[in-house]
């Protein structure tokens, strides 16, 4: 009986409306699963009487209607399939990611590798509040990073080669933010409109727009649900290694400071976030930061 209660306490075991049954949530980092693992989950589901599985918003697979008496056995079978029990409670839950540079033409970063690295370090860590982490390879934000407790967005800041713009207007046509105009035969950027998506860099037919290098904007305190809230900008860094350092610091900060029973987004001012942000910026070497704003794009000075 105690053993069964231990399984019940795992975040991947979710009691259903009919409390005689549970839904089993699996762990699928970045939503990527091999064909063999997918076949294995189907076989496990059939073995325990499930007629279907459910694909979740956190890029995991759930097996519904599992009898309590089968919890130990199904947990062992899923672990053998390398798709172990997932996480759902006050802990770091499944880290999600868009396809990233592997497949997407808009991607600025390798989102899947980054999400897997974060998952390997932090998945399942017990927390006072649930921590959802989302990685998006560009500001299109397909995985809604700003609506997660921790969000990472891949950005690409444009730099124009000084004096070389032909004024062809291709970048103007491709910019969805209407941030670029042609004035006196050269392109001029309005920094207040630019979201650093990198589309203009990729669109320039003469390669006169260059990238300042990929960087990663990290936000904290977002949420979905009945009262959505956008996360607050924490810092932008230049490498996946720096992202991991910052995310670990955020998780440690939340673990030490946050109260249970309330969403992180409702505690940001009390923690307080502004002081923490200053501490984070000071702790990251200047060469690893991607802070600042876009300056005189038309003069070619870039960032």
Residues of the chain above pLDDT 90, percent: 84
What pLDDT does 8 receive?
A: 65
Determine the Cα–Cα distance for residues 86 and 98; give it in Å rounded to an integer: 19
**Is the CB of residue 12 less than 8 Å from the CB of residue 86?**
yes
**Is the CB of residue 130 less than 8 Å from the CB of residue 90?**
yes
In this predicted structure, the answer to whether residue 15 has a pLDDT above a threshold of 70 is: yes
- The reported pTM is 0.91
Which pLDDT tens digit goes with each residue over 90-137?
999 999 999 999 999 999 999 999 999 999 999 999 999 999 999 999
First to last CA, the chain: 62
What pLDDT does 45 receive?
A: 98
Would you list the domain boundaries of the chain? 2-80, 96-299
- Using the CB atoms, write b or e for 232-250: b if 16+ within 10 Å: bebbbbbebebbbbbbebb
In this predicted structure, the answer to whether residue 294 has a pLDDT above a threshold of 50 is: no
Options 3.10.560.10, 3.30.70.3340, 3.30.70.590, 3.30.70.660; CATH of 2-80:
3.30.70.3340
Q: What token pair was written down for 29?
A: 């980092």
What is the band of 236 on the pLDDT scale with cuts at 50, 70, 90? very high
Could you list the beta-strand ranges (E) of 26-125: 54-55, 61-67, 96-97
What pLDDT does 11 receive?
A: 82
In this predicted structure, the answer to whether residue 300 has a pLDDT above a threshold of 70 is: no
Residues belonging to the chain:
303
In this predicted structure, the answer to whether residue 164 has a pLDDT above a threshold of 80 is: yes
Report CA Rg, the chain.
22
Q: Which CATH class is domain 96-299?
A: alpha beta
What pLDDT does 295 receive?
A: 39
In this predicted structure, the answer to whether residue 9 has a pLDDT above a threshold of 90 is: no
Which pLDDT tens digit goes with each residue over 261-272?
999 999 999 999
Task: Provide CB contacts within 8 A for 211, sequence distance 6+.
Answer: 156, 157, 158, 159, 198, 201
Would you tell me the crossing angle of helices 273-283 and 240-257 to the nearest 10 degrees? 140
**Is the CB of residue 111 less than 8 Å from the CB of residue 137?**
yes
What pLDDT does 299 receive?
A: 40
In this predicted structure, the answer to whether residue 59 has a pLDDT above a threshold of 70 is: yes
Q: 289 burial class (0-12, 13-18, 19+ CB within 10 angstroms)?
A: middle
In this predicted structure, the answer to whether residue 293 has a pLDDT above a threshold of 90 is: no
Stretch 235-245: mean pLDDT: 97
What pLDDT does 291 receive?
A: 63
What pLDDT does 213 receive?
A: 87
Determine the Cα–Cα distance for residues 136 and 155; give it in Å rounded to an integer: 9
């Amino acid at each position: 009986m105690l053993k069964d209660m231990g399984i019940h306490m795992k975040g991947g075991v979710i009691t259903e409306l009919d409390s005689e049954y549970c839904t089993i949530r699996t762990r699928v980092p970045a939503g990527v699963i091999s064909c063999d693992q997918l076949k294995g989950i189907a076989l496990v589901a059939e073995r325990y009487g499930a007629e279907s599985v459910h694909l979740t918003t956190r890029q995991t697979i759930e097996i519904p209607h599992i009898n309590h008496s089968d919890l130990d056995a199904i947990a062992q079978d899923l672990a053998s399939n390398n798709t172990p029990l997932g996480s759902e409670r006050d802990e770091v839950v499944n880290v999600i990611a868009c396809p990233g540079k592997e497949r997407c033409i808009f991607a600025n970063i390798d989102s899947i590798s980054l999400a897997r690295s974060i998952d390997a370090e932090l998945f399942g860590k017990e927390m006072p509040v649930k921590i959802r982490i989302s990685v998006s390879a560009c500001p299109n934000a397909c995985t809604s990073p700003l609506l997660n407790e921790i969000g990472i967005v891949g950005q690409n800041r444009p730099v124009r080669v000084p004096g070389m713009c032909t004024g062809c207007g291709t970048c103007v046509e491709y910019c969805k933010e209407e941030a670029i105009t042609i004035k006196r035969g050269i392109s001029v950027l309005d920094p207040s409109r630019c979201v650093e998506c990198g589309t203009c860099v990729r669109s320039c037919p003469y390669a006169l727009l260059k990238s300042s290098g990929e960087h990663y904007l990290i936000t904290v305190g977002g949420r979905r649900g009945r009262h959505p809230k956008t996360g607050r900008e924490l810092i932008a860094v230049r490498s996946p290694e720096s992202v991991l350092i910052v995310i670990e610091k955020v998780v440690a900060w939340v673990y030490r400071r946050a109260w249970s029973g309330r969403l992180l987004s409702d505690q940001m001012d009390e923690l307080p976030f502004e002081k923490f942000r200053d501490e984070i910026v000071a702790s990251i070497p200047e060469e690893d930061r991607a802070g600042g704003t876009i300056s005189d794009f038309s003069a070619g000075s870039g960032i």
